[in-house]
A and B are shown apart, each in its own frame.
Chain A
């Protein structure tokens, strides 16, 4: 805002002591009531979102153990992380988990929404069944999962395999199974949620478009590819982006399936995710500076991922 007023007007305007503050006062008079309403939110937002982001950026360039004062180390933390094999392993695990979980849970969610999207009681019951895992997660169910996948004949899956005369599989005792099991757990928890988002998306497609298409003789398959899917694209993009972001930040299942008091990540770090590694660095090894750097790398990657998604979404919009 500027205080410069054309000279011609300066003479005409009555000179008051408050003249210089005038635009600010006018701004306040006009917007104070509205601004006042946003104030509680803005204070909390500044204190618990903006300030910590800046502070963690600072910490990421320091060596800090939360007990003594931080000392600046330049980009040391970032360079150490990028050459750390555990970080690379955590990154590849997380990426594989993210791709698997988001694609499968999006596809299954869409499929389920198409099948059980109706208003009938049976549809509502089926939706509730699929949605249940996303509201009833938690440590308890992870311990059930642990038991389901236990090796020998203790676990339910191996008990079933035994009945079918199949050899038991060491799901939790072989590195190759870690990510697939985590993806199964992730899809289990997420597909019902995505299903609901798709049901909502399908509902907002006007019915008369379908009727017109039916009159034109389009068969159901054509209607799906030519009408439903294009009109569903915003929902699809939303579901995919939120699933990816959520999967990228997964902590809970990795932590409770594959860590114990002395180690996180399970066999050869096959169950190590970026956030679990961050927790391990920051809160079990007191390397807060390193953990902050990892958090910022995570942030930058999420940022790039989201931009990429939005860009891809745009490109689709054009054709």
Chain B
């Protein structure tokens, strides 16, 4: 709407460079997605192939390769076969569960705090908000070493709580929700209060429904951050049972060094890892934009 109405000077001709830019932006992803379905000889071929000549699913699961079979045989293990025991499927499940719990948990906790700060302020709530605001500037690197020591002292190494709890209190989400809640009329909250609703109930049935766009807007960055989190799981998880996808990708990338044929399963895995995020964005693009335009960027 804004684009073409206010800028008719951008005719299709002038847009052409942007279409070219879009194409070049897509190239890396296109390459990854197509390589996932190419045979290994086709992937390592030089010059490269621009589309899939021989379609194969072997990079995901190769029925002709047996785990433990010679590495120098023509058959290479698919990504679902490379990892011992439960393998890639388990890592996927871990990542999905951890990301879901983190997104839902951190959104709920942060919106509760924001609700109290705006609608039920208490002596000291201003100072608390200032503290939260200040903490947004703390790079995660500052906290990573002591947090590792804390998790160790709690005996949480190799546990889901070590992966989830440290990332649950997100100050920037509080800040974002605060902006959105400021736009909710006090009358709505007071009316619910007069009807005898408790704070928890008002938050759940009055505030949260109105926050929906803001929730969508903040969910996407939180989800991305958690889904791609590499260093923290690397530190606190040592066993297969709690392994996450970025760690698995790191392992596959390491294998590439000594054997370029590892690119097949690597690309297949990357493709699978990107799918949920791409899907979520495509489905919720509208809510995301809406949430941002009603939210804190006006801060």
Contact = CB atoms under 8 A, between A and B. Distances in A.
Contacts of B174: 41
B46 A153 contact: yes
B180 interface: no
Contacts of A90: none
B25 A133 contact: yes
Interface of B: 1-10, 15, 18-19, 22, 25-29, 31-32, 35, 46-48, 109-110, 112-113, 115-116, 120, 122-123, 132, 135, 137-147, 149-150, 165-169, 171, 174, 198-200, 203, 217, 220, 224, 228, 230-231, 235, 246, 249-250, 252-253, 256-257, 263, 266-267, 269-271, 273-274, 277-278, 280-282, 285, 288-299
B120 A197 contact: no
Interface string A77-104: 0000000000000000000000000000
Contact of B6 (A52, A124, A129, A223): A223
A276 B292 CA distance: 32
A138 B139 contact: no
A138 B203 contact: no
A143 B113 CA distance: 41
B228 A137 contact: yes
7 tightest Cβ-Cβ pairs between the two chains A and B: A140-B270, A200-B292, A52-B146, A200-B293, A55-B146, A136-B274, A34-B120
A153 B115 contact: no
B101 to A, nearest CB: 13
Interface in A282-299: 282-283, 288, 291-292, 294-296, 298-299
A31 B128 CA distance: 15
Given A41-B169, A199-B293, A201-B292, 9 more contacts: A27-B123, A33-B120, A49-B171, A53-B143, A140-B253, A144-B31, A200-B297, A207-B1, A302-B139
B169 A44 contact: yes
Interface stretch (A10-18, A169-177, A249-257, A264-272): A249-257
B67 to A, nearest CB: 22
Contacts, number: 289
A128 B146 CA distance: 39
7 contacts: A35-B122, A40-B109, A44-B166, A49-B138, A117-B2, A124-B285, A128-B282
B146 A115 contact: no
Q: Give chain A's interface secondary structure class.
A: helix
